[in-house]
Amino acid sequence: MDNHLLKKYRSAKYALSQAALRCSKEYSLASAIKYAESAVSSALGAAIRTVNSVNYAFIGSIVCLIAAVLITSCATEETKTREEPKAAQTQTAKASPPKPQSVPQVKLDVKEYKLENGLKVLIVEDHKAPIATFQVWYRVGSIYEHAGKTGISHLLEHMMFKGTPRFGSKVFSNIIQKHGGTDNAFTTKNYTMYYQTLISSRLDLSIDMESDRMVNLMLRPEDFKSERQVVMEERRLRTDDNPQDYLLEEVTSKAFAVHPYGNPVIGWMKDIESITVGDLRKYYENYYNPSNAVIVISGDVNPESAMKMIKEKFGPIPGRIVERPAVPAEPQQTEEKRITVKKQAQMPALLMVYHVPSIPQKDSYALDVLATIFSGKSGRLYQNLVRNQRIALNAMAFYSGLSLDPDLFYFSGTPAQGKDTSELENSLLKEIDMVKTNPPSEQDVQKAKNQIEASFIMGQDSIYFQGEILGMYEMLGDWHLKDKYLDEINIVRPEDVQRVAQKYFTKENRTAGVLLPAGK
C-alpha cells in the first residue's frame, strides 16, 4: 500500500474509532456519521487520483468496512446509564419517551432526465474514485409471467449475455473485464437489472453495448437450448437439491393462493422445459424497450457528457407500449395453512410466514423495525431461543418492504439437538405473543432504528449501492421514496411495533412449513 495512503488510512481508522465512541456516548448516529464521512473522505479523497481503480476498490472497501462495523456495533450496544442531575426527580417522574431525532440523511444529488422514447435516466455524481457504475433496470420480473411460462424473465436474463451481431456470445463481459470492470445481472419478482462497474473514462463501453443488446439480441436456437439446460441445472442445485430452499419455495407457493409471488423467480421445472425460443423473443420484444427501462449511473461522471452519449445510442431506439397481464390481488387469508416436506436433509427445519404490506404503506416501516428487533445475534430470537433456552441452533426473522405488492414476513429456525420443530414453533410463537402483549421498550426500538440507519447510510458509500437503491425505489414507483425511508423509520414508536404484530401475526394469516429429514 502507498505510504501516503497508509497514513490516510490510519488517520481514518482513528477518526472512525472516535466516531464510534461519540455514538456510544450520545446514543445517536448523527455525529458518528458526520465524523465517519469526513474520515473516509480524508483517507481516500486526496490520494484517489494516484492509484488505479483496483487498488482504490481494495483500500476503499477496507476503510468503509471499518466504518460500518464500528458504527453498527456501537449502534447495537445497550444504552449506558446516565447520571441524573437530581435524584429526587428520577424517583417521582416517569421517564418520558425520547423525542424523534433528525435523521442524518444521505442526500444524493440526483439529476433526472427523460428521452422522447420514454427512457428515464438518473445520474449521481460521486468523484471519490475514477470509477462508475452503469445500470439498466427493466420493469419486468416474475410478477408479470403468464401461467405455464414461469421463469421466462430469468431465462431471458441469461440469454442477454449470448450476444448480438456486433458483440457475440461472452464478448460483452470480456470487453468489460479487459478494461478492469465487472458486469452481472439479476432478476427478481418485480424487475430485472443489468450492470457494469468500470473505470469512468470508459463509460462509453456500457452505453454502446447496453443500447445494442436492448434491441439487437440474436436469440439463436442453439444458444437457447443450451442455456435452458443451464437454468434447469441451476434450479436443481439451488432448489430441488437444497432442502431449506425447497421448503421456502413450497411454503411461499402455499401462502399465495392466486398472486404470482407464489411462483419462484427461477420458475417451475415443467414451465422452464416448455418455454420456446419464440416465447422468449415475444417476451423480449414486449418488455425490453426504452419506455419500460430506467438507466441509473453513479460515480465519477459528467452528467452532460453522459447524456450526450446516451441520447446518441439510446435515442434512436423506438419506445413501445408494454402489454402487461393483469396481476390478481391476493385475497385475505382466513385460515392457517400447513405443509410438511420430507427431503434428504441433516436437520429438520421450521418456516412460518405471514402476509404483510410493502413500502410505502405506513405499517411496512414498523414491520422493518420489528424484524430488526427479532434478528441478529443481539436480537430477541437468538438471545432467547438459541443462547438462553437452547431450543434452537438458529432462529431468525426476515422482512423486506421493497415489493410492488404485499408480500411475506418470515420466521425460521432449526431445532437444537434433542428438540423438535413443534417445540421450536411454540417458542417462536411465544416470542411473537410477547410483542403482541407487551410493546418493546423505547431502548429496543431505538437500538433497531440505529441499526437500520447505520446499514442504510453506510451502504451508500458504495457507488454501486447508490445506484441500486435509486433503481429499486424507482421500480417501486418513485426514487424519491428513498429520501423518506429513514424519516418514516424514525417516527416508529413501540406501540406501532406492537400494533403491527397484533394486526398481522395471527393464526389465520399464517402459513407454516416443516422440513423433516427423509428416512429418520
Question: Taking the CB of residue 233, how many other CB atoms lie within 10 A of it?
Answer: 11
Tell me the CA distances in angstroms from 427 to 208, 380, 411, 413, one per residue in order: 56, 12, 12, 11
Q: How far apart are CA 453 and CA 486, in angstroms?
A: 7
Which one of the listed residues 145, 157, 227, 474 is annotated catalytic? 157
Grid coordinates representing 470 are 435509486
Q: Which residues contact 20 (CB under 8 A, 6 or more apart)?
A: 32, 70, 71, 73, 74
State the Cα torsion 157-159-163-164 to the nearest 10°.
-90
The answer to whether the CB of 117 falls within 8 A of the CB of 290 is: yes
Tell me the CA distances in angstroms from 115 to 140, 294, 319, 451, 488, one per residue in order: 20, 11, 10, 39, 33
Output DSSP code: residue 409.
E
In the residue annotation, 157 being an active-site residue is answered as yes
The region that residue 170 occupies, defined by phi over 0 for left and psi between -120 and 50 for alpha, beta otherwise, is: left
The answer to whether the CB of 400 falls within 8 A of the CB of 466 is: no
Report phi then psi at 303, rounded to 5. -55, -40
State the Cα torsion 42-484-455-445 to the nearest 10°.
130
Q: Which residues pair with 124 in a beta bridge?
A: 110, 298
Output DSSP code: residue 129.
S
Grid coordinates representing 456 are 442504510
Q: How far apart are CA 243 and CA 254, in angstroms?
A: 16
SS3 of residue 271 by DSSP: helix
Q: Which residues are catalytic?
A: 157
